[in-house]
Structure 1
Amino acid sequence: MIRIGVDFGGTKIEAAALDAQGRFLARVRAPTPPGYDEGLEAVRGLVDEAERQAGARATAVGVGGPGSPSPASGLMRNANSTQLNGRPFPADLARALGRPVRYANDANCLALSEATDGAGRGARVVFAAILGTGCGAGIAVDGRLVEGRSAVAGEWGHMPLPWPSDAEHPGPACWCGRRGCLELWVSGPGLARDHGAGLTALEVVERAGHGDAAAAAALDRYVERLARGLAVIVDVIDPDMVVLGGGMSNVSALYERLPDAIAPHVFTDACEVTVRPALHGDSSGVRGAAWLWPLEAAP
């Protein structure tokens, strides 16, 4: 028996076959095509190839990607891969693959993967955030996703930056139609924009490590803003573990600095926050998608 997971990203699609213990049997990738129908066909081809390499066929497929389907209509919403919005993507995937599909937001897949057998294994409440080209988050409690009644639990990237200064208000315009969303400050492009010299986020971090004053100041602002965002999460759900994924999760300084930066913003006199990088790195998305179907629950 195998699990199949698919990570449908903005630039690449990955399909993987996992055995019952969560070990990879096959992993295949391809660039994400711009068209909707071409995306469906790309997923079908990758799943076929993963199963061919694994030598077995799964009875169901888990898919992680941007946005989420509306509980009311089944149509996608809130996806920054905008070709998916307004389309019945999970249902169309099920038809293309000829079997049941469970779809979850990619940040939810990160949370599920890391709570199951990653950095958050054994922790009761795990908050997992993707800090990449965008910003999203997921919540797992006792190893199970918390998606909420409206399936928007963890849409942390589109809350406002907490306690903004005059210079931070109202903030830049977001693709979602609002202004000042947290995503615009704590994503990789958010750090690059704040630095303002045409560098990538990781170039800013590298320069900060070599003593560049402007880069160091930008990184200081980034840590403080991220800490404010995480402090609100601590006030609301007080997680046992905060797990970071995405490109910015590779910045080692975050794990040294964030606990002390979060604490002053939390409504308590004794704040203990554990922040760790995702154990499975960029594999967490496809692993979490595969975990959406427990073997005993697959049709």
Structure 2
Amino acid sequence: MRLGLDIGGTKIEAALLSAQGEILYCQRYPTPKQSYSLFLAEVIRVIQLAQQQASAPVTVGIGVPGTPDPSTGLIKNSNILVLNQQAFVRDLEQGLGMPVAVTNDANCFTLSEAMDGGGRGHSVVFGVILGTGCGGGMCIDQRPIVGPNACAGEWGHNSLPRYRNDRDGEAVVCYCGQTNCIESFISGSGLERQYAARGMNQLMVPEIVGRVAAGERLATDVWEQYCDQLARSLAGIVNILDPDIIVLGGGVSNVEQLYSGLQLRVASYVFGGHCHTPIVRARHGDSSGVRGAAWLGAQQMKTSQTSNA
């Protein structure tokens, strides 16, 4: 059986998957962030509780914000601050007495959608998470691509393509230290920031979208600007990777208006002026992260068994 954990800043979700991808068990727990020792102990406890619900031995995969550094094995770039610079994978495997696969949560999202979600049947799948941040991942033939710097798919921390002050607003310093990162504009929080920057009250994405639907001029202008920024950013992915399909997840991906004309917008920025790449919504929604983590653990076990054969 396949056990996956999707660890976020507020919750840890654990799910058991059958070989056919059916969720047999699912539970959520608060994420302890007071100290690394408490965090590690809770993750071990959650895994052991899930193992008790399994009718057979399990493989374990985990998606985390951040990623293990290939050169050191330590977690980097996590918004769960107590996790950074910790040997999480080593400590977890020692605590459980078994191998554990750990990768970035966006990689898990993409793997889930490549296996049996919106990207099923396609060789090269690029996954995009448009949530509080702007994550990304890449799978080729249902295998996550991580890279020697563990940065594959991290498109959100490239500069916004064709940035201009007169149409995109004042320059923005990202939390990563760089200026005008894609994430600062096309994440859900980026859309909210740009609306508020027009002198309006701070509103959440659903409220802004509601005002667009009601015909509010300012909201419509900001939304058009956002869609153009998204199109420019996706065109960069097409020009570099040219994936077979792009799958969108996260809160903003649930906005129906997002998909109206998006492919044509992207085409206007793609080299050659054409874009045949489907851009679709994630099939598994919020469950993609935990499902992908479960698939990841099974893949690592299979690879290990093949290597040892």
Q: TM-score, normalised by structure 1?
A: 0.95
- Structure 2 gaps, min length 5: none
* Residue number in structure 1 paired with 2:153: 154
1:84 positional shift: 1.6
Distance 2:86 2:21 in 1: 31
Correspondence 1:59-138 to 2 at 5 A: 60-138=59-137
Q: Deviations over 1:32-61 (max 9, x none)?
A: 111322222222222222222333331x31
The residue number in structure 2 matching 1:252 is 256
The amino acid across from 1:163 in the alignment is R
Take 2:88 and 2:245, find their aligned partners in 1: how far apart are those partners?
A: 32
Pairwise CA distance, 1:170:
6.5
The match for 2:211 among 203, 207, 213 is 207
Unaligned 5+ segments in structure 1 are none
- Indicate the SS of the match to 2:37: helix
Residues 1:187 and 2:187 aligned together: yes
Please give the TM-score of this superposition, normalised by the length of structure 2: 0.92
* Shift of residue 28, structure 1, vs aligned partner: 0.8
Report the secondary structure of 2:260's partner residue. Answer: helix
Partners of 2:172 and 2:80 lie apart in 1 by 20
For the Cα contact (< 8 Å) 2:165–2:171, is it kept in 1? no
Q: Distance in 2 between matches of 1:257 and 1:67?
A: 33
Specify whether residues 169 and 179 from structure 1 end up closer, same or farther in structure 2 by C-alpha distance, changes over 3 A only.
Answer: farther
Query: CA separation in 2, counterparts of 1:270 and 1:160?
Result: 23
Distance across 2 between alignment mates of 1:257 and 1:240: 19
Give 2:51's aligned amino acid: E
Work out whether 1:284 is the aligned partner of 2:283.
no
The two structures, once aligned, show a CA RMSD in angstroms of 1.6
User: In structure 2, how many angstroms separate the alpha carbons of the residues matched to 1:42 and 1:214?
Assistant: 46
Match of residue 52 from structure 2: 52
**CA distance in structure 1 between the aligned counterparts of 2:272 and 2:80, rounded to whole angstroms:** 39
Please give the alpha-carbon distance, in whole angstroms, between the structure 1 residues aligned to 2:260 and 2:94. Answer: 47
SS at match of 2:261: helix
Moved more, 165-174 or 180-189: 165-174
Contact kept in structure 1, 2:60 and 2:294, CA below 8 Å: yes
The Cα shift of 1:273 comes to: 2.4
> Contact between 1:8 and 1:65, CA under 8 Å: does it hold in 2?
yes
